[in-house]
Structure formats: structure tokens, C-alpha cells
A and B are shown apart, each in its own frame.
Chain A
């Protein structure tokens, strides 16, 4: 529908909402095509076009709406299509499948079997989205509407109850009451540190100064993480509403969303939402007929990981220096932030959690979770699990439940070894600790952290020393280089790990690794350097044997570190097919056809091409 009036007060908001909901109910059916970045990459837009044309070409008894929604989280199965009524879930849909979906499902009411999700555990096809194991274990509070609404559509957001929390906060609550409600909810920051959100707001509210700011941190730099992007892409109004409520609570009249420029779709949807909100009077002066004014701008980040750190983010928005510049704290941004003014910086997820808390109450939110960690958390589940994607789960759930129930277990039936939580500066949780309830304190105690919600699953083929080296090389690349411990200490640490993976390590190196890590943790200027040793320290703590195998026995148990492995051909299994000989880029495989082949260890560069090429499992790693 085309809306045509400015929303001048809460009553007008509710009237419009009723109208939109009635209209939604009148529409008989809908096709929701996920148009998040992931599904777009696998052809979602073509699917949408095919649905539009196919539906237009037919006389159907009921009106069917085609909706381009935000990310459903299960990108690896994309493009995803959900049909209502019936909650029928199709995956890996291509434009060519659309005719069949329309004629079989929409017209005849029968499922298209081959497009239904195949549950590898039971071997059965699953009809409804809510019964797919990946979704069944989830508790979708923030992502609830991602698959239902058109992202930048204010009408869609209103139809699912949007901006009711804002109306309630502005007209029924004082700023102090808003903060009190957030305090009751126990909400803690979802961007890394887990700082109590209400406390941050309170500090900012009490800070001296008449100009204050709220900022949304959407820098999301953890490799493989995309929960913030998905929220901004799929439901930007929820973030906007959260920021409006926060601004009212702390007394800010302006705000920024800091998004990395690699997120063009998120930026497009967010600016669409901002424009529409402004057009309807939900941004600007005298919002909903009250005395509350608020304006929001988008600030594009260059994509440096360290710019997600709040003080570096501030200097980046201020645009004073081209280089990332973390600043000493205190003063904390809540007291002295943007242009020296009190500034609340919260993560995308934190902001999006605010409206449901105001709507349903802090008590309701606090009913989910553990003593210290309330509500739900969105994780990016990646690595060696069967199902990868975004999962929103209640705090307190165990890693084992996530990996084996939602994630469907380890790919290829291999054994799980560890889970890296908290991104590249988080830590590695070994298999033995997988029953740990997910909670800020528990993760920190295990040497890791909640971080922004990265979960990387590793199986027995992962070398923990190499993993630590990999994460450290990431944080070293992304370090701004300002302070000595992170810049110089990180470089020394990385050098030592490289030495060990090359089989040149000595036992004393482990002491030096511990000392360098301690110095980085203790004295780095910002949290990047303080946290960067986490992967090293946790792997050293839980997988010391593996370090020693590299150092003492010059052996990589997982068969990963190139300098420490040899590829050999098992002559009893080799059929002499020649695939490996042709695959080897170094010309190291020798042999005549139909005779067992041999690998020349002098020429071998240990690239593993032969292992991948072999169909008879005749290439072994020693």
C-alpha cells in the first residue's frame, strides 16, 4: 500500500497500524524470497523476478504477494523461499524452479519435494521452515521479522508492531524510566565487551553537556560474521527505533550509524529506512507530537577492523585523522565521545534489542538466559559444521547444543576438536568444555569471550598451532600500530608461532610466548592488542601437547603444517591412474600408468593437490 500521511501522534500511529494489518490479512498468500547478500549471490533476484512474472501471468483465486525479505540466516541453502500459508520452506531455489512452485504449491497446494530441506540426520525432507532443525532450536527475537518484512518498508515494519515501543517510551515513560526498564532487563552490550547497557546510558545521561550523541557500531570486522549486516539489511527500522529510544533516554538529539563501506546493501536499506522515517515524521523535530527531536546520519567506515573499537570509531567519524586512532580511556565515550560530547556507542544487536524490551518489559527479557547474561544472542555459525549461518539462541545454551542440534554436527562425520568463539581475538574452547553454558563470564573464564558472536567450529583436521598463527596474523595485520606492545609484541609473537609451525621452535619459545602475550594483555592501549593473544593462550592452555609435538617431535599431528608433513603414496592402494601425477604443479609425482606412483620429496612443495586428486585414498599424510 502507499501510505500518505505523516504520523503526528501515537493515535495516528495505531490507526495506521490497524489499517496495514487488516490489509495484510486480506492478502491471501505470500511468497517471501530471501534477498540478503548471501541469497542474492546465489540468484535470489532472478527468483523474485520469475515469481512476479509467473504470478502476474495467471489468474489466481487469491492475491499472492511477492516479498523481498532480509536474510533468513541459512545462506548456504539459499536462495530461500517461504510460502504462506503453510510456512513451506524451499531451499536452493532457482528461477527455473518457479513455474513448478506456482503450479504445484500455490495452485494445487502440493509441495515440490525436491526443493524441500533434506535433513541429513534423518534422511527425510522437511516441509515447514519452523521444523527445520537449524531453525527449530532457535529463539528468534531480533531476527523474528527478518524473513517476513520488506527491509526498508515502514509499512511492513508497522504491520509487525514497529514503533510501538517508541510511542510508549515517548508518551508513557520518562527517560529515567526507560533506563530503569533496560536495567531490569539486564541487557549487556552485544558488540564485544558485554558492558551493561543501562549503566552506559545512565553515565551518559548524567554527564555534563547539552549536546549528546548516540552511535550505532556496525563496523562488524570479524571474519565470517554477518549478523549485524543481516539485521541492518533485513530490519533497519528495528535498529533505528532502538536508537530513537536510546537517544530519548540519554538526552541526545543526533546520532550516527557507523557502517563499513563493504556493506552496500545494508547502507542502501538503512538510508531507505531513514528517509522513510523522516518523511513520516519519525525522525526530525517533535517526533510523534512530543517535544523529542532526533536526526540520524550514516557514516561510512573504511573497513579497518580496529575502527570497530569505540575510540577509533569516534576519531573515524570525526574525520580528523585518516589513520585509525584508538585513544586512551578514560575519559570513556559516555562522558567524552564524539567531538568531546557525551556519546553512547552500542552495537547493532544491542540497539535492536531495545524495542522488544520496552514493548514487553525488562522482566520478560530477563526471564531468558543465565544469572549474568540475559536474553538471546545471534551467532554466526561457521566452520566444519553441516549447517552454517546465523542462529539466534537463548543465552545459557551450550556450545554442544548449537553445534550438534542446530548445526547438525560435524561435516563428513569427523570428530569435533574445538570451537573458536569471540572472533579472531577470542579464544578456542576445546571439545571437553562444550557443555559450558554460553554466558559472558563463563566464556571469559575459559579464556575466550562472547565478542560479537562468531562461532567457528573446528574438527580433527585443524592444527591448533597453525590456527593460533592464523588469527594472530589477522590481528597483526589489522592492528593500527600505534602502541608498542601490540605492534612490536604481536610481531614477535607471530614470528615465534611461524617458527614453531615450520618445525624450528624450541621449548623456551613457549615461555617467551607467554611473556609476550602477558605484556600485550597488560599494557596495550586498546582492546585489540589486549585481546589478540587470546587464541594463542587458549590453544596453548588446552592443546599444549600439539605445540610440543611441533617443537620436540617436529610433527604436526593434524597434518596441516607444510614443513612438518610428507605426502606419500600407499603402493598397495595406488592403481596408477595418474590423476595425482597430472594434478601435481611441481612435477613431483612419478610413475608409469597402472603401476603404483611415487612422490619425489625433494620436488614436493606440500601443496596437497595429489591428496585432493586421488580417488583411491592412496595418498597419505605423514
Chain B
């Protein structure tokens, strides 16, 4: 498959995409914006929020499909802003606004799509912040390889939670879920050398830096990372700031350049988009 390409029409223009790309990936490469919510580039397509729908014409039939998961394929004709698409997106935004009336991200989205404040009769709780995009659940499984959190219950009762709503034994406190949550529904609080994650009722001890004494990461995370590198775990460990400082000082000593700042920058860290 590598190196193969497919050609299809996007908003009337022939574009080329790598085989295996989704419509969303191909559109982005072509500079066409398609809004997303549940999608995250570091994770597998999930297709849950339905905000990214586009109109796909295939074999003469036009259907709405989720751009984030629909594979780009030869001969498709894709439209990203037809009235049908706009109507659907607007309803999706209205539904999410009704569910999460006070989440800024959803409020902005709804306003942008012209959704009136009280367009639907059933209202969610003011404090509801979860749109059930499943990023937290997926990042835990796909990126970290743990299953600390999952979906519970079906239908309108669906929610994300730790198993049985109790403290998650599988949680290492990496806070990846906090990082990928688009609405701020998952929160981490660091206090008194402890990490508290909500809505999971998880609390983990934080490890203190052996140099500066600041608590900086859950011990389980460091054990997990050491495990991945097949290194043994040393509780006498430095926080990232002190480590950088230590490395810098050591390099300064051996370097003729004398200034750590002149070193070529490290590989740029991949930015997660929200």
C-alpha cells in the first residue's frame, strides 16, 4: 500500500490523498477545514460526535459520513459545506449544547453555527461537561496501554468512569486523559504531594524531586516509563527541571562552547491539538 495514492473530488476539485488516509486527513492536507470534536490525531478514529459529517457521493448515492473515519477512496465526490451538512452540524451542536449548557467550547461552537440558546426542550445539568467523545478512554487504552477508565451504561445514561465508579487500580496517574479532554471535564488537582483525578475517584501519591523537593509526578508513571525502557526504577529521581539543569551543567563543563543554549534544539515535541 505504501506510496499508493487515491484521487477524489473535494468540494468540486480533484485532490490526491495517500491510500489509507481518511477524508479528514486528505481535506486538511488540501487546506480544507472540517470541524471535529471526538477526533484526535494521536488516536484511532472513533466517529462518535458526528460533528465532522460531510456529504459523500458514491455510486450515485449521497450520504452523510464522518470525515474523521471515512477512508478517502478513488472516485468519491465529497462536499464539506452543503446545506444538508450544515443542518446536521447545527443539530449536533444544538444537541451538545443542550447536554452541556455551560461548557465554553460547546457554547462557542453552537454560537458559531447559529444555534439558539433554547432550541431544544430537554436540558442537561449546568455542571455537565462531558460530551462523551471518549478521548480519555481511548488515550488510556491506545496510547498508555492501560484500561483505567471506560464507558459505563448504555444510551442516554452512558458516562465515562473508572471501573465500578471506584478508584481505578489500573491508573498510573499519567494525566493523559486530562490532556486530551476537549472540554475540561477531566481534571487533575495536585495538592499535598497527592494527585487527584476527577471525575475518576483516583488519588495517587506524587514523587518529590530529590534535588528541589517539589512533587512532580506520580510514582506509578515513572515506574511505567522505566518499565517501557526496561530500566530499573530509582526513587531518588529528579524532576524534569532539575534534570535539565543537571544535564546542562554537566554539558557546560565538558563543552568548549560554554553555553548550553547554543546546542541544536531537541526534536520538536509533537503538539497535541485540542
Contact = CB atoms under 8 A, between A and B. Distances in A.
Interface in A522-568: 522-525
B151 A483 contact: no
B122 A523 contact: no
A515 B90 CA distance: 11
Nearest to B53: A523
B91 interface: yes
A85 B50 CA distance: 62
A518 B83 CA distance: 13
Interface string A255-275: 000000000000000000000
Contacts, number: 113
Interface in B25-52: 45-51
A499 interface: yes
Contact of A516 (B91, B96, B150): B91
A496 B121 contact: yes
Contacts of B191: none
Contacts of A522: 53, 64, 84, 88
Interface string A321-361: 11110011011000000000000000000000000000000
A492 interface: yes
B107 to A, nearest CB: 16
Contacts of A485: 50, 91-92, 95
B60 interface: no
Contact of B47 (A328, A478, A479): A328
A324 B156 CA distance: 14
B25 to A, nearest CB: 14
Contacts of B96: 484, 488
A327 B45 CA distance: 9
Contacts of B88: 519, 522-523
B76 to A, nearest CB: 11
Nearest to A521: B64
A481 B47 contact: no
Of A484, A515, A522, the most chain B CB neighbours within 10 A belong to A484
B66 A488 contact: no
A481 B50 contact: no
Contacts of B45: 328
B156 A483 contact: no
Contact of A481 (B46, B64, B87, B158): B158
Interface string B60-84: 0000101001110100000000001
Nearest to A487: B156
Contacts of A495: 121-122
A524 B66 CA distance: 9
Contact of B121 (A306, A478, A489, A499): A499
Nearest to B92: A484
B91 A489 contact: yes
A328 B153 contact: no
Nearest to B124: A488
A481 B69 CA distance: 18
B158 A488 contact: no
A408 B88 CA distance: 46
A490 to B, nearest CB: 7
B92 A481 contact: no
A477 B69 CA distance: 26
A330 B71 contact: yes
Nearest to A495: B122
B50 A484 contact: yes
Contacts of A479: 154-156
Contacts of A218: none
B262 interface: no
Given A483-B49, A487-B132, A492-B122, A304 B154 contact: yes
A482 interface: yes
A207 interface: no
A242 B223 CA distance: 53
B150 A322 contact: yes
A499 B122 CA distance: 11
Interface string A285-315: 0000000000000000000101000000000
Interface of B: 45-51, 53, 64, 66, 69-71, 73, 84, 87-88, 91-92, 95-96, 98-99, 120-122, 131-132, 134, 150-158
26 contacts: A321-B150, A323-B150, A327-B47, A328-B69, A328-B70, A476-B156, A479-B155, A481-B154, A481-B158, A482-B132, A483-B49, A483-B50, A484-B49, A484-B96, A488-B96, A488-B156, A491-B156, A492-B122, A516-B91, A518-B87, A519-B87, A519-B92, A523-B50, A523-B53, A523-B64, A525-B48
Question: Shortest 8 CB-CB distances between A and B: which pairs?
Answer: A481-B158, A328-B69, A488-B95, A328-B47, A519-B91, A479-B155, A495-B122, A491-B156
